[in-house]
Chain A
Amino acid sequence: MARPVDRRPGFSRRAQYGIFTGYVIAVAGFLAGAGLLVVSIVNPSAFSSVRGTAGELARPAGEAGAETRAAGQSVIAAIGAYFQAGRQNAALSREVAAARANALTMQALEGENRRLKALLGIVDPQARPVAAARLIGSTAASARRFAVLSAGASQGVRPGQPVRSAAGLIGRVIETGPGTARVLLVTDPENVVPVRRARDGLPAFVEGKSDGRIAIRLLNMGVNPLRLGDVFVTSGSGGLYPPGIPVAVVTEVLHDGGVGHLASDPADADFVVVLPVFQAAAVTALGASQQAAGPAPEASGN
């Protein structure tokens, strides 16, 4: 196939000017885009209102999609259940027996915990969820990991609030529109969550690897104490995430930490809950003092 020939307009001045103007606009568009890009890299929240409006417009489509996702998964799960009903039954019976024993231990521990806290005078802020909503979209093609939530500022959602599903932590809200909000997922490399090992409280933090897994970094160097299958939960340090939300399960042990899978895959989460910031006063004070102190000095030679 030969290339199209009508690229040369002949002697028509009008057509020649039209083509020239096209080039000018294209190059100007490229330069304008570069300028916008610099602005949005320097100030990431610069275009959040435009994105919020765009999210509002696409919200019905996203909600329809979210319902399809739940229905589709239940159909597949129902078909799958037929194939492994017997094995599943046996496994579940074993699990229920183990869980019953665990539940009794938990009740005892909870009581003890309450008594000890009363003894120490610690009052946990009662965490009433801000809103329950669906995840209606995600940035599936970009290297950044955002999801869009079907609740926004009008439901009381504010930037910074943690988002969790029944199974574990999903992320935190970073931008809000009137009826939608953007959630920075735990798998985004910018999202660093302080955690502790559920078994013994070993402190660590996790950060996203943006390929669906998360890196677990230990605070104490030395012999790596991680084992496969260790469960990490939020520790409450930093005051943003309430303690005790499952975050990750270790699936690979490295020499200075580990790689984990998410405790709660956002794709499986039907409904998610937006929680209030755990220690809002502490977070505000921390942010203010960081702003007053200026940027942190470059880490060198430690």
Chain B
Amino acid sequence: MPFPRLSDLPSLPMRPEDLVPQRINRGPSPLLASGLPWVSVMLASLAAFSPVIASAPVVPPLAFMVFLAWRMLRPNLLPLWAGLPLGAFDDLYSGQPFGSGIVLWSAAMLVMDTVDNRLLWRSFLQDWAVSSLLMAGYLLLAAGIAGLAAAYPLPLVIGPQLLVTLALYPLVTRVVALLDRIRLLPLRSV
């Protein structure tokens, strides 16, 4: 049997838009369009139930990164108060004392609002820089709060975690951008 040439192979759907055959007279499903950001952030919170049982904090705070990436990509999609419910959900699984996620996520939303008011133009590098500051602050404060809860200061071991987080952020934005295209697939007939 001859080895199949590239042109003989059935082409894979490269874009999410190709999954939907018919596009005329169709609009995005409202449930998916407004619910996917929330669901994706909550699923990222559940990453604690991954197969890795870590004996050191090495996994980046995925839920917070997805949350920030949605905020950067679509500033008006998540309401300003989204940090309250999503942070509370993250607290249930993150191991932080309950309330730390609510405080830090709400504060991040307010900071992002200020940043949007100050900086008139957006670019990828600028987004990355702003989110790097936010994520570094989030990790430091979260470690500090965990130390408060343990009644004495924890040794700061978040260095490697911080580097991984900063380096992984662009990848998370790509995934969120893909989710955004899935979010707007024309599934509902108008």
Contacts and interface: CB of A to CB of B under 8 A. Distances in A.
A190 B155 CA distance: 12
Given A32-B102, A37-B97, A26 B122 contact: no
A2 B143 CA distance: 35
A32 B106 CA distance: 10
A139 B48 contact: yes
Interface stretch (B27-35, B53-61, B181-189): B53-61
A36 B110 contact: no
Contact of A209 (B79, B100, B150, B155): B155
B53 A37 contact: no
A25 B94 CA distance: 24
B99 A140 contact: no
Contacts of B96: 139, 142, 144
A223 interface: no
Given A26-B106, A41-B149, A189 B56 contact: no
A36 B98 contact: yes
A187 B61 CA distance: 20
B156 to A, nearest CB: 8
A178 to B, nearest CB: 16
B100 to A, nearest CB: 6
Contacts of A37: 97-100, 102-103, 145
A4 B59 CA distance: 33
Interface string B137-152: 0000011011111111
A161 interface: no
A28 B171 CA distance: 33
27 contacts: A3-B122, A6-B76, A7-B116, A29-B81, A29-B84, A29-B102, A30-B107, A34-B99, A34-B103, A39-B98, A40-B99, A69-B52, A137-B48, A138-B53, A139-B48, A139-B95, A140-B57, A141-B48, A141-B57, A141-B61, A141-B62, A142-B96, A143-B154, A189-B154, A209-B157, A211-B57, A262-B55
